Structure 1
Amino acid sequence: MSSVPTSDDGYREGAIDLLGILAYGALTAFERMAEDAQAAPTLADKVELATVAARQIDHFKSVSAQLATMGVDVMAAMAPFHAPFDAFHAYTKPKDWYEGLVKAFVGDGIAADFYREIAAFVDADTRNLVNEVLADEGLQAYIVAQVRLGMEHDPKLAGRLSLWGRRLVGEALSQAQRVAADRDALTSLLTGTVDRPGLDLAAISRMFSRLVANHTKRMAELGLKA
């Protein structure tokens, strides 16, 4: 992959932040999926989550390699995101197998949508890497099948998981807004500069509306009320 252009320092910092988020996201996804695998009801479920967890390490390595071409250490790029990510995951810790599945589908889904929105304003190599890291690898269909099967066996599960999904989207959107507000370089990717146009306030509002609309679709796929 070619390196990110360096003529615009603000752009470069924003691209590094985006890659830092992806790297730490992949690392924490590995940890959560490995933990969820321990609560899996069957051996086949353990294998499914363990396999997806292993792919997260591959994603982490890919992002690390791209950062290295930019002369940036992945540990430094991830550092600003430790606290907000860890706080989010601590506050939204699943109580059981099904809540873990919904979090992986809904919580990670809305985060991925947000990163894709930002990636629209970076160079092609970085954007392609973002899309590669965030691509569905079969986990979504697996989660939908598992959650729907669980609700067939226990109809009361739907109400609890619907409430859980609403909490997740609220926390995920709040986290996205906090991260964007705290990281000026990320915000500049979205809002643009004199030489590099971005989104105005109305367009940013529409972006968050798209995030909510995608969340509603995901909840419907699971058979849950948004």
Structure 2
Amino acid sequence: MTDTPPGRDGLVDLLGVLAYAELTAFLRLAEDAARLAPTLTDRAALSDLAATEYAHFRLLRDRLTALGVDPEQAMAPFVAAFDDWHVQTTPSDWLEALVKAYVGTGIALDFYREAARHVDEADRALVDEVLADESTSEFAVERVRAALRENPKAGGRLALWARRLVGEALSQGQRVAAARPELAALLVGQDGEDLAEISRMFARLTEAHGKRMSALGLTPGP
């Protein structure tokens, strides 16, 4: 029997959690398109985004298979946390769905982008490709900003919703990290990093969140 290469368990966890995140994003976006999209154009656009998420899932699934890992087993440890997050943050209308797709999912995936800094170049490139959110950004920003121009009072409600999304995402992220120490180790590198670097990581997460909120025309809040 060969030994497991250092960091391989963390990599498998990273690919597994991202694979399930992309699969659930596909399912939720498709559901929101059918349930909440106000026009056929919006329904089609959100369906296109869902299709992109599914394509990302396939890339991750194929990489896990190439590593000799069963994708279902790799995803299984993360099902409860992601499903709970989606249940607790079910959008009640179209604008909440857009904010969730852009802000809520974005802060969650930022954690895994940080973890990808400590994997090899090829897998880091794969994660970067999967986490690219230009299409989601353009679509959500355009729709939310247009809605706020028509009804500026909606901004307060959506800002509160975004803060709730982020709070729930951070809570679930901590839950996952506590349960999967190999994945948590990727966030601070294989040899560990000092508290200053961990503080800088959270500063990067906070900055990225603030930029998303500002792009939507919402106040980041405390």
Which interval holds the TM-score relative to the shorter structure? over 0.9
In the aligned structure 2, how far is the partner of 1:21 from the partner of 1:222? Answer: 27
- The reply on whether 1:163 has 2:157 as its aligned counterpart is no
In the aligned structure 2, how far is the partner of 1:94 from the partner of 1:10? Answer: 41
**C-alpha deviation, 1:209, in angstroms:** 2.0
- The share of aligned pairs that are identical, in percent, is 56
Q: Which of 194, 198, 204 is the aligned partner of 2:198?
A: 204
The equivalences for 1:83-98 within 5 A come to 83-98=80-95
In the aligned structure 2, how far is the partner of 1:109 from the partner of 1:192? Answer: 22
**C-alpha deviation, 1:190, in angstroms:** 2.6
Cα 1:92–1:10 change in 2 (3 A) is farther
In the aligned structure 1, how far is the partner of 2:188 from the partner of 2:22? Answer: 26
In the aligned structure 2, how far is the partner of 1:210 from the partner of 1:174? Answer: 18
Q: 1:174 maps to what in 2?
A: 171
**C-alpha deviation, 1:83, in angstroms:** 0.3
Q: Give the SS at the match of 2:119.
A: coil
Q: 1:135 maps to what in 2?
A: 132
Deviations 1:74-102 (A, max 9, x none): 10000000000011111111111000000
In the aligned structure 2, how far is the partner of 1:159 from the partner of 1:189? Answer: 36
**C-alpha deviation, 1:131, in angstroms:** 0.5
Cα 1:132–1:115 change in 2 (3 A) is same
- The reply on whether 1:126 has 2:123 as its aligned counterpart is yes
Q: Which of 202, 206, 217 is the aligned partner of 1:223?
A: 217
Matching residue's letter, 1:76: Q
Unaligned runs of 5+ residues in structure 1 are: 1-5
Moved more, 131-140 or 158-167: 131-140
In the aligned structure 1, how far is the partner of 2:186 from the partner of 2:5? Answer: 11
Say whether the 8 Å CA contact 1:10–1:185 is kept in structure 2.
no
CA RMSD of aligned residues (A): 1.5
Normalised by the size of structure 2, how large is the TM-score?
A: 0.93
Say whether the 8 Å CA contact 1:110–1:211 is kept in structure 2.
yes
**C-alpha deviation, 1:9, in angstroms:** 4.2
Q: Give the SS at the match of 2:7.
A: helix
The equivalences for 1:47-126 within 5 A come to 47-126=44-123
Q: 2:13 maps to what in 1?
A: 17
- The reply on whether 1:189 has 2:186 as its aligned counterpart is yes
In the aligned structure 2, how far is the partner of 1:10 from the partner of 1:107? Answer: 32
Matching residue's letter, 1:218: R
- The reply on whether 1:27 has 2:23 as its aligned counterpart is yes
Q: Give the SS at the match of 1:36.
A: helix
**C-alpha deviation, 1:198, in angstroms:** 3.7
Deviations 1:8-55 (A, max 9, x none): 545110000000011101110001110111111111111101111111
Deviations 1:45-68 (A, max 9, x none): 111011111111211111111111
Moved more, 136-145 or 214-223: 136-145
Unaligned runs of 5+ residues in structure 2 are: none
**C-alpha deviation, 1:123, in angstroms:** 0.8
Normalised by the size of structure 1, how large is the TM-score?
A: 0.92
Q: Give the SS at the match of 1:224.
A: coil
Matching residue's letter, 2:193: L
Matching residue's letter, 1:93: T
**C-alpha deviation, 1:110, in angstroms:** 0.9
